[in-house]
Each structure stands twice: as C-alpha cells, then as structure tokens.
Chain A
C-alpha cells in the first residue's frame, strides 16, 4: 500500500499534511505519534471512513482514495477499532461470520432463498469461522455472547472478524489499548502467527512503544499531521526529532 501526499483538513484545522509513506507487503508497519498527531484520521482516510482533502491512497495497484468503506474492504483491507465494534446481541461465532459476508459472492436475495451456491457458501463460512475461532484459541466460546469474554478476548474476536475477511492488509487501531501484560503478549503472538500463516500485512497505530519495537518492521512517526520520521524501529528510536516530539515542549 502506498500513501501519497495525503492531506485532510477539517475546516481550518489541518489533521494530515501531505503525508506519504509505503506499507510493504508482508510487513508490519507501525504509525506512532503523540496524541492528536493524526493517527486515527490517517486510518479513517485509508479505510474510506473519511474522504481525504487531497492526495492518494493506492492499494495493490488500485486507487482506493475516497472509496466507501465496504468497497475498500472488498479490495482486501480490514480494520479493527480503538473502541470495540462488536455485536453484543450476537454469538461470538456470528460476530466472526459477519466478516465473511462482505465479500460473499451470492446476492442477498439468493442467500435468502438458500439456493445451491448460497447454501454451499453458508457451510463453507461456518467451517471457516470455526477455524478462525480455533486459531484464536477461542473455540469453546463459539456460542457465547461477547459480554461473557474478557476485554482482551473481545479484541481477539474483532481481530478474528478481520481475519474472516481474508484481508491482505489489516489496519489495527490501538490493538493493545486497555490490555493487561499477558493479554498484550497474546495479541502480539496472534499478529505474528497470522503473518506467518497467511502472509498478511499489518498497519497498526499504537501508543505502546515496547510493543512497537518488538513487532514492527517499519515505523512512521507523525506529529501535528506531518510525517517526521519513516524508518526501521531502531533508527526511529535514536532520531533526535522524534525524541523532541515526544519529550519536548
């Protein structure tokens, strides 16, 4: 995925100022920066929640700038949210299955009538969802409601829904926020295993610097909407501009 001179203005406020970078396929790219640096805005522009003021987002050779979320999703991009976006009234299994249907081939009406293809797809989806649950090590929780799970597990369910989309790039918005240390290491493990097993790329926005250092291949630093660094973690950590942004003023 390539971001080229992406800008986003809200009235007079410049949230993103000509940000450009590349998220290499198969890599974990992290976006960090102080509060209000424009990280979530960046994710929203990429995933189609916002239409950027100018600039371009291209993914896998397609220009997806300003496309609506469900279209962006169809190109193979999935995302999780800072605040959980789970369906409280649906079972864990159903929550995960919702992810599968974004790229379902059969139409809604056909699905309703359960014709051959739709029925086959139905069975495949069910099997795939159980597979994802096992992968998340949440196999026993299939019929539970999300409220019965711990916060960390709920985050994993959301992650599982992104997996169900068979996305090639998953955008993670603060996946570690509010997690305990063991939950964090589980999540890190999960991201690693996903990458190994499916070759999925990740773009994550995170505050937790140790996690970033451990997990990411590449780090982009934003400050007041501008990119101030774009390098491997070790180099970023030593960059005086970055240190100033985090510690200065």
Chain B
C-alpha cells in the first residue's frame, strides 16, 4: 500500500514538478509570480485536443503543434502584457496574470464550450507490475517525459548560450541591460519555455482524465510546489512538485482527500514563516 502510494505520488509529482519548473523559469527571469500557470497548463490540454482531434494530426505532429503553439503563446503574452508593464509594482503584475488566466479560460469556453473534451493521443494504456507496485503505462510515460523535459531544460539552462543569458538576466536584470543583453528577448524566451513546460504537463493531465478548464486548479498546485522548493531554485521547483505529489497521495490514502490541502498548505505557511527562500533557494542577501 505504502509503496503504491509512493509510486503514484512520484509519477504525479513529476508532472507537477514540470509545471512548477515552468513557473520557476518565468519567475527567475522576469520576477513575475505567474498565477496564470494553472490555466496555461489547461491550455496545453486544449492545444493537444486541437492538434489531435481538430487538425487530426498524428501523435508526433500533435506534440510538435503543442510545443510550437505554447511557445508562441508565451512570447505573445510576454510581448503584449508583461513587457509594457516592466518595472511596475508587483501588484500590477500579479493582477495581469490573474486577468490572463480569466481571459484564457473564457477563450477556451467560447471555442470549445464549457464541457470536458476527450483527449486520446494513442499513448500506451494498460498497466504493468513492478515488484509489489502496479504502474499504469500512461502514468509512467507522463513521469518519463516529464523527467526528460526537466533534464533537457537543465542542460539548456546550464550549458547553452541562451541559458547563460537567462541565468545572467535572472541574476541581475540591471547588469544584463548594462552589458547590452537584449533582456526582452531573454524574457520572451523564458515565457516561451515556461508556457511549453506547463502545456506539456497539461497534455498529460488531460490524457489521464479529460481536457477541461478545471485542470487549472491542479496546475495551480505548482505554486505551493515552487514556494516550498524555493522560488529562486530550479531543482527546488522540481523537488517541490514531487513533494506535493507524494503529500497528495499519502494524505488522501491514509487520511482523507480533503487532508491534502492541509498537508500541502501548512508546510507552505511554515516555509514562508521560517525559511521564506524555500528548501532549496538561497537566502537573498540585501541587494542595493
């Protein structure tokens, strides 16, 4: 029983980690606390519906479509909403992201209707037994792809040119501007990547159940995940996601489904009180 909970918690947590990583990428680069991350995830599920059902693309085509469309969406969001507001108070940015999520939700309801949409991408279904643990193929695929995406992101962030510029911009927006880095382009890249990661998470959650705007509420679990892991820490976001997945399974399994909220948000409060930079974040020293 425990092993089963740990396994399913790990697999779900991997998807949460992916969405949380997208959140952290956006936060690190642009300092925007993106409340629309949950809706961007739901949008990913609907992009997959568009690709597979509406356009009739095969699996690979659908994935390519989701990645390109989500990346474009991220760039457009940065260009239309975030860039003009650069330097405004935090509250304005937060309101913008909340408005963005409401607009996305309304657009989805207008285009697809309020009902759930079936999303079947032809990924392997069924299940297999590993030791004493029963694993569904689709959960395993979701976890595998999530880890692959997270690894790709880490390599990109650590070793590529754009990754270096993103790290530089995240480190000091001012110094990046002063040393001639085109910060707008870097920020657009961060939004594109953050949106793509959220969308991939949405594709899998939509596949595990259905594509619906209510997926937003699952996607918003990325927020406690990121805060617990550390807003400034990329590995922290992933580990935060895993923790949320494990907490969810164990508390629902051993206590009650409602207990999940307590066990996710109480640690969030404790972290905010005693270690606001998160488990893996670095204490931010006073910067002038």
Which residues of A are in contact with B by a Cβ distance under 8 Å? 69-70, 72-73, 78-79, 81, 85-90, 94-95, 97-99, 101-102, 104, 106, 108-109, 111-112, 114, 118, 121-122, 125, 161, 165
Which B residues are in CB contact (< 8 Å) with A118? Answer: 160-161
Nearest A residue to B155 by beta-carbon distance? A114
**Does B160 contact A111, Cβ atoms closer than 8 Å?**
yes
Pick 13 A–B contacts, CB within 8 A, sort by A.
Answer: A69-B177, A78-B180, A81-B178, A87-B172, A87-B176, A89-B167, A94-B167, A97-B164, A98-B181, A99-B179, A108-B185, A111-B162, A165-B180
Complex Cα gap A85–B173 (Å): 10
| B residues 165-192 touching A (CB-CB < 8 Å) | 165, 167-168, 170-172, 174-182, 185-186, 189
**Does B168 contact A104, Cβ atoms closer than 8 Å?**
no
Expressed in whole angstroms, the minimum distance between the Cβ of B23 and any Cβ of chain A is 19
**Does A87 contact B180, Cβ atoms closer than 8 Å?**
no
**Does B185 contact A102, Cβ atoms closer than 8 Å?**
no
**Does A161 contact B179, Cβ atoms closer than 8 Å?**
yes
Expressed in whole angstroms, the minimum distance between the Cβ of A103 and any Cβ of chain B is 9
Nearest B residue to A72 by beta-carbon distance? B180
Is B254 interfacial (CB-CB < 8 Å)? no
Known: A108-B162, A112-B160. A70 touches B181 (CB 8 A): yes
Is B156 interfacial (CB-CB < 8 Å)? yes
> Could you tell me the dominant secondary structure of chain A's interface residues?
helix
Tell me which of A70, A72, A94 contacts B168 (CB under 8 A). A94
**Does A102 contact B161, Cβ atoms closer than 8 Å?**
no
Which residues of B are in contact with A by a Cβ distance under 8 Å? 156, 159-165, 167-168, 170-172, 174-182, 185-186, 189
Expressed in whole angstroms, the minimum distance between the Cβ of B268 and any Cβ of chain A is 25
Nearest A residue to B287 by beta-carbon distance? A88
| Nearest 3 pairs of A and B residues by beta carbon | A73-B180, A85-B175, A89-B171
Which A residues are in CB contact (< 8 Å) with B189? Answer: 108, 112
Known: A70-B182, A98-B179. A85 touches B172 (CB 8 A): yes
Which B residues are in CB contact (< 8 Å) with A161? Answer: 179
Complex Cα gap A97–B160 (Å): 11
Complex Cα gap A69–B178 (Å): 8
**Does B160 contact A122, Cβ atoms closer than 8 Å?**
yes
Expressed in whole angstroms, the minimum distance between the Cβ of A129 and any Cβ of chain B is 11
Which A residues are in CB contact (< 8 Å) with B159? Answer: 122
Nearest A residue to B158 by beta-carbon distance? A94
Which A residues are in CB contact (< 8 Å) with B168? Answer: 87, 90, 94-95, 98
Known: A70-B182, A81-B178, A98-B181. A87 touches B161 (CB 8 A): no
Nearest B residue to A158 by beta-carbon distance? B179
Complex Cα gap A244–B178 (Å): 35
Complex Cα gap A97–B185 (Å): 18
- Given pairs A87-B168, A89-B171, A101-B164, 9 additional interface contacts (CB within 8 A): A89-B167, A90-B164, A98-B168, A101-B161, A102-B180, A104-B161, A108-B161, A108-B162, A118-B161
Which A residues are in CB contact (< 8 Å) with B176? Answer: 87, 98
Find the residue from A73, A87, A125 having the highest chain B CB count within 10 A: A87
**Does A98 contact B164, Cβ atoms closer than 8 Å?**
yes
Expressed in whole angstroms, the minimum distance between the Cβ of A100 and any Cβ of chain B is 8
Find the residue from A72, A81, A98 having the highest chain B CB count within 10 A: A98
Which B residues are in CB contact (< 8 Å) with A95? Answer: 168
Find the residue from B161, B168, B174, B182 having the highest chain A CB count within 10 A: B161
